[in-house]
Amino acid sequence: MKVTFNRSVLAEALGLVTSVVPTRTPKPVLRCVRVVASDKQVRICATNLEVGLNYLVSEVEVAREGEVVVEAAHLADIVRESSEDVLVLEAKDSTCEIRGADSRFTIYGQDPKQYPKVPSLEEGDADLTISLAGLQAGIEQCLFATAKESSRYAINGVLWEVSGKKLLLVATDGRRLARCRVALAKAPAGETAKQKMIVPAKTMALLDKVASHDEETVAVKLMGSQVLISCANVVISSNLVEGNFPKYEDIIPTDYDKKLKLSTAVALSAVRRAALLTSEESKGIKLSVGKDALVFSGSSAEAGAAEVSMPIEYGDEPIDIGFNPQFLVDVLRVIKASDFDLELGQSDRPGLIRSGADFLYVLMPINLG
């Protein structure tokens, strides 16, 4: 194999591909990437046996077809540190040589036959298609709410559920829940439309890293316990999370009568300032809703107290409710609109945040004593 690469293009490809490569594994071959040169393009593959990635690089000159499996970290380091615009990669047997204008590196690789197969998606084989920009916006609005560590594996991922011509993305960690709707370019038909799947948080984060261009679409194919996600020159294959996702509809309040419209930027600033003097023992802040003001307050015995007020228009009964300030900051940072709706019931019931018709966030209250 002999291929001439644009260094910056190769660096971008390796930046995404190596994010799949496991840092610790009993199988040395999994610390490698597979580079396959054929016709006028090169395919770079990586897998950790749960998530796989195929990246097609077309800005190349293929002088000789072939393949090589080399350690990902070494290849990525060489490409990143090189100052040349062009690099030549030449491989024979299990040895790979990378040459620049003033440098030459030789990497010893592995037998390509030992490398696991990384699935790809055939054109026209998708169950649904969706705008990449829209999907990435949806990921940003829900991924933060997934459980980071939990024995309930189902909440370590994001639920994908088709509802008409929309894709619902739902994430929860048991203390909060985010749900957003994203328009589908092509909705699935038949039994596929009824299927729900839980995509691992790591896969969602990887999809969010794919470079987005105007009008780029994502093709999605369900394959039993796996999903294939194809976009432009990238195909991600992933195992799905097993288990049953919580019945999230049951915890979304529908009977609230206390409603406020708040400025996103002003509320975010108020929450951050009110939390400045809280501690691990008193990490909640209180929202006191009155006739013409919403007061955010936080305190700790060792540090002191903070109080931030913002004017509001409100005609219902006053209410005090406590929340984890970080959970409020997380959601206010991903709301794109200049304002949002806050809906409340009683002080021991969840708070409900809405932004437009397609995003909502349910947040459990905390007892401030």
DSSP H/E element including 70: strand 66-71
Assigned token pair, 227: 């999903």
> How confident is the model at residue 123, as a pLDDT?
64
In order of 9, 168, 187, 199, the CA distances from 161 in angstroms are 35, 5, 11, 11
Share of the chain above pLDDT 90, in %: 84
State which residues form the domain around 314.
252-363
Q: Give the confidence band of 153 by pLDDT, cuts at 50, 70, 90.
A: confident
pTM of the model: 0.92
Q: Among the three residues 55, 85, 114, which one is the final residue of a domain in this structure?
A: 114
DSSP H/E element including 285: strand 285-289
Q: Give the confidence band of 335 by pLDDT, cuts at 50, 70, 90.
A: very high
Same domain membership, residue 330 and residue 275:
yes
The answer for residues whose C-beta is within 8 angstroms of residue 180's C-beta and 6 or more apart is 138, 141, 142, 168, 169, 358, 359, 360
Q: Give the confidence band of 149 by pLDDT, cuts at 50, 70, 90.
A: confident
Q: For the residues 78-103, what does the mean pLDDT come to?
A: 94
Q: How far is residue 206's CA from residue 227's CA, in Å, rounded to a whole number?
A: 14
pLDDT over 90 (residue 148) = no
Looking at per-residue confidence, does 192 or 46 come out higher? 46
Same domain membership, residue 244 and residue 132:
yes
pLDDT over 80 (residue 183) = yes
Q: Residue 123 domain-assigned?
A: no
How many domains would you assign to the chain?
3
CATH number at residue 50: 3.10.150.10
Q: For the residues 346-353, what does the mean pLDDT come to?
A: 96
What is the per-residue DSSP string for 312-364?
----S--EEEEE-HHHHHHHHHH--SSEEEEEE--TTS-EEEEETTTEEEEE-
First to last CA, the chain: 69
Share of the chain above pLDDT 70, in %: 99
Task: Encode pLDDT of 42-52 as tens digits.
Answer: 999 999 999 99
Task: Encode pLDDT of 204-239 as tens digits.
Answer: 999 999 987 777 899 999 988 999 999 989 999 999
Same domain membership, residue 316 and residue 226:
no
pLDDT over 70 (residue 200) = yes
Q: Among the three residues 203, 231, 248, which one is the final residue of a domain in this structure?
A: 248
Same domain membership, residue 239 and residue 284:
no
Residues paired with residue 295 on neighbouring β-strands, in sequence order: 288, 309
Q: How far is residue 49's CA from residue 45's CA, in Å, rounded to a whole number?
A: 12
> How confident is the model at residue 150, as a pLDDT?
65
> How confident is the model at residue 125, as a pLDDT?
77
Mapped onto helix, strand or coil, the DSSP state of residue 76 is helix
Q: Give the confidence band of 124 by pLDDT, cuts at 50, 70, 90.
A: low
Q: For the residues 125-134, what does the mean pLDDT come to?
A: 91
pLDDT over 80 (residue 296) = yes
Q: For the residues 333-337, what does the mean pLDDT come to?
A: 96
